[in-house]
Structure 1
């Protein structure tokens, strides 16, 4: 089934019976690993859903702008941030990321599986423009079936894969009827890095990884991720 990934689609998802499960789970392991060596500053999570990653960043000292198109997702996130004691470190912004422009640039811009209404790579181009000089761009996307190596990790500067839980339970772009993302929302690491001008960006991580997690009903689900981390040159 083809989705437009517009506001109506996401509002329906977040008012549906899967919303509670989407708001649960641990922060994305790629995010946890990739930002561990960064000095906390101003961060934007683009397509934050119910804020699992935003709350994790805030708990580690980041001042976070958490943006999403679904008001219900943001309401869940704000409630959870209050319970976690980090409400003052997160600004929740209801925004269509295909048209929204932030007022400032960020030390970290990250997105985990967000599926906008515009083409996926154009979305990545947009959020890359919101990174301040010296700042970090971290993209975690669904790895497309067209990956040349069949979806396994390659070119990884960190040299290890993950078998931890996946952000799939709470990130945008999940809950598709067939259990996986559509081709239009899937990318390869090379797709992403090809958009990053070497004169502007230093690519720190380019990774394609495959791992498993427990899915609905306890069945094992295979997760294929494309991960790119890059630093904007000063």
Structure 2
């Protein structure tokens, strides 16, 4: 997953990391030089976490070429950036600051994401206990949530902390409704009505489409 914070892109799988190619570009050095520095300090970097080297295949008219890069975690980036001697000191300082802010924002997002998961499970567990609940109820519920927070289907994993915070509010509304109404169809309709009421408070011209 790619996490964008201003001009900085972080990569997240199990851990948030930054691409060495971006580091080289922003610090004004050749990527080969940076990789040489990484290899010279490989044992030190591995002492700060795993060091996942990656291979990218680039296709062109005459065939294909492969380039090697590495994904650095926050403390690995901090260590290697202390060793880099770029030409433009002011740009390098700015870049380091931007990366620091990006990693801080990703930590904040992960904290909100963990909190939102608890409310997600509470909402879905409440819905699942209703008699007659079917797959389309879950689908329509997710669509209504996505509409409210401005995401398309499949984009939930890229939600930022503001959208995740909004999801927490929406899922609290859902759980409240599911405890009041026994019919899944009627419950989803009531959730839709309450979402629309909230959308109209936020933006008079807003609202979401009716779900069944």
User: Normalised by the shorter chain, which TM-score bucket?
Assistant: under 0.3
User: TM-score with structure 2 length normalisation?
Assistant: 0.24
TM-score by length of 1: 0.22
Looking at secondary structure, tell me which structure has more strand per residue: 1
Larger radius of gyration: 2
Which structure carries more relative contact order (alpha carbon 8 Å, separation 6+)?
1
